[in-house]
Structure 1
Amino acid sequence: MPRRRSVLASRTSRSDLPPSDAPEWELISPGVRLGYRRGRGTRGQGGSWLAASRSADGKRVQTKLGKADDLSAADGTGILTHEQAKDAARAWAKSLRAAPDAQPALTVADALERYLEARTAEGMKAVYDARSRARVHILPKLGPLRVADLTLDRLRRWRDAMVTAPKRLRTSRHAAKVNTRDVDVSDPEALRRRRDTANRTLTLLKAALNWAFQHQFVESDRAWRLLKPFRDTGAARVRFLDVAEQRRLLNTAQGALRDLVAAALMTGARFGELAALTVRDFDGANGTVFVERSKNGRARHIPLTAGGRALFERLSAGRDPRAPLLRGETGEAWKPAQYQRAFKAALDRAKLESITLHELRHSYASAMVRNGAPLIVVAEALGHSGTRMAEKHYAHLAPSFVADTIRQTAPDLETGTGSGSGTVHSLA
């Protein structure tokens, strides 16, 4: 009986595979498997070859071989055809057997991949964002390096270089070159944002390296344990839309985007939470929507106002309970980055400053605080595990004894248009 041709053998058959963070595996020799992965966050960038086997002590070992020749011609080293990848996988497995006492050198790319695979198995919801951050900021500079070769100085120079590196802009997946914009080093706010980005990226890298250290893939964590993040980077101005601005945005948003914006404004849910909602998550009897898993892994029920209830009743009427509650223009569930261009256009038509969809979550929370909701209630509605973030972003909006006392007792200066026309009210 003829052997069935592997689905990984050609570019065409690989392109038919759905994007997934889980690899497609092919057994190529006894105990040796070749894997292909085209992650959900790598659209337009092709896939990668992996190899898996077992070490002399029976432990499953996996490594990344290189990129697949999906978009570029193979060069035999970094970009491999199917046959070249099979040869590389067999050679790698042979090296494991030839040196049973020596584990393969763990690279930064390997550590990140194993960490993200473990977090995915644990139900981590932000894997897409983590892969995207790693692909842009970590892998180009540090990916090929052995974890054992990392030094404090090398990591510090990598962290510092991110601050002044050109900012990546939205680029068509068919473009030959990524659009970038130079950082204005004379702008303190621009530098603060870049340092904040560097800190977030450093947090991801250290999490992956700590995971490798805890699982005994490396002997020391000294290089990254001693590297500290930039200080004083968390003072970003949180932007809110008032009621009039929210109405203007809704009036300029159209179709499926309007439903997405309305849902964000009336639930305070994150985009990933909204995109994951199904029809059965809306409880019409109790007027709530159920978020099964939030960023911190907690489930929550969000009570809806009359407007929110009417919105979800319309979206769920007569539909399959397992269908996505919020659908994009294609009729499928929203995917990351699908809404951004239309959202920016709606902001421009509404003559609003550029904000992100996530900042509609801030608008939801700020309205609650201004209307007297305790911060513990706001934190619960947003799915936070405590009040720290709510206090950080919204405490200044809450009715305050200190603020009321200052307004009643501080000098109240009335100024006119001409010099000498101002008066100060007496405090006596």
Structure 2
Amino acid sequence: MKQAGFTDTTQKEYMREVMAYLESLGGLPVTGAGKINVIGFLVSKQKSTGDKTRNRTLSAIRSFYAALMDFELATRNPAMEVKKSKTESNKRPIYLDEHELLVALNHIDGRYRDRNIAIFLLMAYCGLRVGEVHRLNLANFKKGKGTIEVYGKGRKWNEIPVPEALSEYLERLQTERITPYNKKEDAFFVSQKGRRLSIRQIQKIAAQTFAAFKAAHPELADMKLTSHKLRHSFATMLLRNGVDIRVVKELLGHASIETTMLYTHVNDDQKKQAMSTINIPLDKII
């Protein structure tokens, strides 16, 4: 998994899933397990998990067997014979429009308000993942070029232009940065304990902001907002502004455009605008 560039979080999740699968075999040699064993394990978890979680578990088991085959410890991958669950593709997309993002930002407060606003802005207006915010270093912010270098999934670097207003905000924030406990620490975002701000802490900042936002707007109480939805909001915002989806793909650091399409959502006004371009020549129909 390290060689493939999996994040630490994914590695932990896959390890947990695979260990649970191995325990379910009850002593049966892993090379002696087949498709029925994989299905049995997935079914045993079905009551407490959804389709996405089931598919993640299946991906973990597939990766495990693929590794065994790479090391010549197995000759087949029974998990590849199991189909993934179909996930609901027509459910209401969850994202915030530009006005909602602004309202949500105004619910960030506290002693480290400026730092937390910067984190929120990077996810909402540059599309950074939580892990990318966590890994961001001072050296990654290129003030002269107005860009940030992002170390993303698959061990890939991506240089993202930063909106001028955000670039100025980040530059000011550097002077207010908490002094790290370790003088050599280059993390852009530092916790009150002087350490690199953790992924969990970043998620907590977003969760607290959304909780306050929804408390002030009861009509949005059922909206399942997470830090990752800010990335969806960023992609959707670009699409609404007429940005080519291929450019959106590069900014998000995706390997395929199909993945990018999952992050972009078309609203009703865009549908109406598209349909208004159609001319039906009823007057010419005889």
TM-score above 0.5: yes
Q: State how far apart, in whole Å, the 1-side matches of 2:6 and 2:261 are.
A: 24
CA shift digits 1:162-210 (9 cap, x unpaired): 2212x5xxxxxxxxxxxxxxxxxxxxxxxxxx11210121012101111
Match among 139, 143, 147 for residue 284 of structure 1: 143
Match among 215, 232, 240 for residue 71 of structure 2: 215
Write the mapping of 1:70-149 to structure 2, written as runs, cut at 5 A: 119-120=1-2, 122=3, 124-135=5-16, 137-143=17-23, 145=25, 146-149=29-32
Q: Considering only aligned residues, what root-mean-square deviation do their CA atoms show, in Å? A: 3.0
1:369 corresponding residue in structure 2: 239
Q: State how far apart, in whole Å, the 2-side matches of 1:377 and 1:296 are.
A: 19
CA contact (8 A) 2:18 2:60 kept: no
CA shift digits 1:299-343 (9 cap, x unpaired): 111101122102210222387895211223433222122233443
Q: How much has 1:374 moved relative to structure 2?
A: 0.7
Q: State how far apart, in whole Å, the 1-side matches of 2:204 and 2:87 are.
A: 32
2:102 corresponding residue in structure 1: 247
1:306 corresponding residue in structure 2: 164
Q: How much has 1:234 moved relative to structure 2?
A: 4.9
Q: How much has 1:144 moved relative to structure 2?
A: 6.8
Q: State how far apart, in whole Å, the 1-side matches of 2:149 and 2:210 are.
A: 29
2:187 corresponding residue in structure 1: 324
What count of residue pairs does the alignment treat as equivalent? 264
1:387 corresponding residue in structure 2: 257
Q: How much has 1:283 moved relative to structure 2?
A: 0.7
1:297 corresponding residue in structure 2: 155
CA shift digits 1:125-154 (9 cap, x unpaired): 42322313442x442343474312312112
CA 1:123 to 1:280, structure 2 compared with 1: closer, same or farther past 3 Å?
farther
Q: State how far apart, in whole Å, the 2-side matches of 1:308 and 1:398 are.
A: 30
CA 1:140 to 1:232, structure 2 compared with 1: closer, same or farther past 3 Å?
closer
1:406 corresponding residue in structure 2: 275
The DSSP-based 3-state class of the residue aligned with 2:159 is strand
CA 1:241 to 1:329, structure 2 compared with 1: closer, same or farther past 3 Å?
farther
The DSSP-based 3-state class of the residue aligned with 2:153 is coil
The DSSP-based 3-state class of the residue aligned with 1:358 is helix
Q: How much has 1:355 moved relative to structure 2?
A: 0.9
The DSSP-based 3-state class of the residue aligned with 2:51 is helix
Q: State how far apart, in whole Å, the 1-side matches of 2:19 and 2:66 are.
A: 17
CA 1:409 to 1:380, structure 2 compared with 1: closer, same or farther past 3 Å?
closer
**Which of the two has higher C-alpha Rg?**
1
2:43 corresponding residue in structure 1: 160
Q: How much has 1:274 moved relative to structure 2?
A: 1.0
CA 1:141 to 1:216, structure 2 compared with 1: closer, same or farther past 3 Å?
closer
Q: State how far apart, in whole Å, the 2-side matches of 1:295 and 1:398 are.
A: 33
CA 1:125 to 1:286, structure 2 compared with 1: closer, same or farther past 3 Å?
same
1:107 corresponding residue in structure 2: none
Compare the two structures and name the one with the higher helix fraction: 2
Q: Segments of 4+ in structure 1 off by > 6 A?
A: 318-321
Q: How much has 1:232 moved relative to structure 2?
A: 4.4
Q: How much has 1:233 moved relative to structure 2?
A: 4.6
| More off after superposition, 308-317 vs 194-203 | 308-317
The DSSP-based 3-state class of the residue aligned with 1:326 is coil
Aligned partner of 1:242: which letter?
A: D
- State whether structure 2 residue 137 is matched by structure 1 residue 273: no
Match among 212, 222, 228 for residue 349 of structure 1: 212
Q: State how far apart, in whole Å, the 2-side matches of 1:297 and 1:323 are.
A: 19
Q: State how far apart, in whole Å, the 1-side matches of 2:14 and 2:4 are.
A: 19
Aligned partner of 2:255: which letter?
A: S
Q: How much has 1:289 moved relative to structure 2?
A: 0.6
Q: State how far apart, in whole Å, the 2-side matches of 1:264 and 1:409 are.
A: 37
CA contact (8 A) 1:269 1:382 kept: yes
CA 1:318 to 1:393, structure 2 compared with 1: closer, same or farther past 3 Å?
closer
**Structure 1 unmatched ranges of 5 or more:** 1-118, 168-193, 412-426
The DSSP-based 3-state class of the residue aligned with 1:350 is helix
Compare the two structures and name the one with the higher strand fraction: 1
Aligned partner of 2:11: which letter?
A: A
